[in-house]
Homo-oligomer: A and B are copies of this chain.
């Protein structure tokens, strides 16, 4: 758009050409959106969460729409690490965009192994460690809500990889700042937040939960105020680069996160509604910067006046 505006941001050693990334689990393995988006314009692509072994996920129905958002209980279905590296990663290497691999393990050992095996794999730009999935008991929910375990997992992964290490936090906690501090102490390079909030919805006609799994993760505009508040709390608690996630549907939403202090943002549920959402958000941020006569997005980041 405007050649004079700098959109490049840094997350540790990782240089992103734009602060607009995709959120894990909402952009498939990237290719699904190639028809809709110029994948080269994205700051980064975060792929669907990967575990050591392939996983089948939960029985359907897995999704239901609720006011202001949706619940999902995918149950972390994924192709597993081997198939990811052999089948999903190669087509993505065609793009000039960093690929961030979202990983989760059932125990500490799996996290270490995932990190070890992904270290040095060509085409992997960074790891995003999901210690926060609320759907599957083994999905790490016990790591993400306890600051000691969060720190433990972070330091294990830290030792296992030289890749930039992003840890993704769950909002289903009393004190997100203490978890963020623990993760920082564990050696994370950056923190992304938030994952989904656990929710439920009832079919009053059949008097049963809409989701076969009973509960699921709430995403979409409904969680945006909570995500912003947590970003604000974490920003005051740690000095790591933060990646804002939660209900970002348009450029205005994205700007709220950048202003509050996120150095980058991830677009999730919005991709389902508008597969071009990431492009339109990128355009919108550039337009806002131009209109506000800001030549570098970094001057906007964290500029909230209180």
| A204 in contact with B306 (CB, 8 Å) | no
| A202 in contact with B68 (CB, 8 Å) | no
Is there a chain B Cβ closer than 8 Å to A52's Cβ?
no
CA distance A145 to B178 in the complex (A): 14
| A202 in contact with B304 (CB, 8 Å) | yes
A156-194: CB near B (< 8 Å → 1, else 0) gives 000000000000000011110000000000000000000
| A200 in contact with B303 (CB, 8 Å) | no
| A306 in contact with B225 (CB, 8 Å) | no
CA distance A259 to B69 in the complex (A): 22
Copies of the polypeptide in the assembly:
2
CB within 8 Å for A208 and B306 given contacts A197-B226, A199-B229, A228-B201? yes
Q: Give A90-135 interface residues, CB cut-off 8 Å to B.
A: none
Which interface class (under 10, 10 to 19, 20 to 34, 35 or more) fits A?
Answer: 35 or more
CA distance A226 to B219 in the complex (A): 11
Is there a chain B Cβ closer than 8 Å to A153's Cβ?
no
A-B contact pairs, 19 of them (CB 8 A): A66-B224, A66-B225, A68-B69, A68-B221, A172-B174, A198-B226, A199-B228, A200-B260, A201-B228, A202-B256, A202-B260, A204-B252, A206-B305, A207-B303, A208-B305, A208-B306, A215-B229, A218-B225, A222-B223
A residues in contact (CB < 8 Å) with B: 66-69, 71, 145, 172-175, 197-202, 204, 206-209, 214-215, 218, 221-226, 228-229, 232, 247, 249, 252, 255-256, 259-260, 288, 303-306
